[in-house]
């Protein structure tokens, strides 16, 4: 009759896709990384540290690429190296 307001609730998933399949290959002094492309991603940022747990807000990415792949060239064999890959829309 128009006197009662309709009330409802619904779930809207707002989670962003996650890079889950980062593949790392070592080739002499290069570390080759690839992953599945994230739809609508404009660029990917690659962060590297010698610590396994690091805060990317405290460092600058070592690279920004537009394709889902990156080669970290001339790394030292002593390592270790730890990576985080993020993306931007």
CATH fold, domain 23-88, is: Immunoglobulin-like (2.60.40)
Is residue 50 scored above 90 in pLDDT? Answer: yes
Q: Is 3 left (phi over 0), alpha (psi -120 to 50) or beta?
A: alpha
Average pLDDT over residues 6-25: 85
**Distance (Å, rounded) from C-alpha 37 to C-alpha 39?**
6
3-state SS of the chain: helix, strand, coil percent to 5? 5, 35, 60
Residue extents of the structural domains in the chain: 23-88
The encoded tokens of residue 86 equal 């993020």
Q: What number is the average pLDDT over the span 48-75? A: 96
């Amino acid at each position: 009759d128009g006197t009662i307001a309709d009330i409802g609730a619904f779930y809207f998933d707002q989670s962003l896709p996650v890079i889950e399949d980062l593949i790392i290959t070592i080739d002499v002094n290069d570390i080759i990384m690839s992953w599945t492309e994230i739809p609508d991603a404009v660029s990917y940022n690659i962060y590297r540290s010698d610590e396994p747990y690091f805060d990317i807000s405290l460092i600058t990415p070592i690279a920004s690429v537009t394709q889902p792949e990156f080669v970290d060239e001339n790394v030292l064999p002593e390592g270790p190296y730890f990576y985080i890959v993020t993306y931007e829309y």
